[in-house]
Amino acid sequence: MKKILALLTVITFTSCASIYVNYDYEKQTDFTKYKTYNYYSDIESGLSELDTKRLLDALDEALLLKGLTLSDTPDFFVDITSSEFQNAQRNSVGVGVGGSGRNVGGGISIGLPIGQPKLSRQIVFDFHDENGIGLFWQAISESGYNPNASPEQKEARMKAIVDKVLKGYPPKK
């Protein structure tokens, strides 16, 4: 029962928070020639070491499902960078005072912020062909981020991000 409850919690956590992805690619690229990949040795993802491992594991699994294999002599390299930021607070409560009827009056309104600012994370995935055109595909994901999430929730979140990012690879022309 605990496993089912934990699974439902993870599904709820990943389904409620939206993941937005923007794609860009080099139009002349023949994506069918790319069969192997690897990561740059000096990759600095901007994530914690554990989150980087979670992300790379999810990416390896998803790329394997797309028919790509990890290789020491790759057709292309993957670079990943990320940044965290706080979203501007949009929720507020308005308090107003004013006059009505025959009385002439003025008014005042104050916006009181409610809730806490939400953290978001942007992760950029770059695919580089070192022997050809250089950067040939890019995806930029943006989603909510909870630094206090459990390891299971973080793993599920990384998998959800990678799945959404790789929906656009290879691009449909």
Per-residue pLDDT tens for 129-155? Answer: 988 889 999 999 999 989 999 999 999
pTM (predicted TM-score):
0.75
Tally of structural domains, the chain: 1
Which CATH number goes with the domain that contains 140? 3.30.160.670
Note down the domain range covering 57: 2-89+117-168
**CA–centroid distance for 144 within its chain:** 8
In a domain, 84, yes or no: yes
DSSP string computed for 98-122: ---TT-----EEEEEE-S-PPEEEE
* Residues 54, 39, 164: CA angle, nearest 5 degrees: 50
Q: Can you tell me the mean pLDDT for 54-68? A: 98
In a domain, 173, yes or no: no
Cis status of the peptide bond prior to 117, with omega within 30 of 0: no
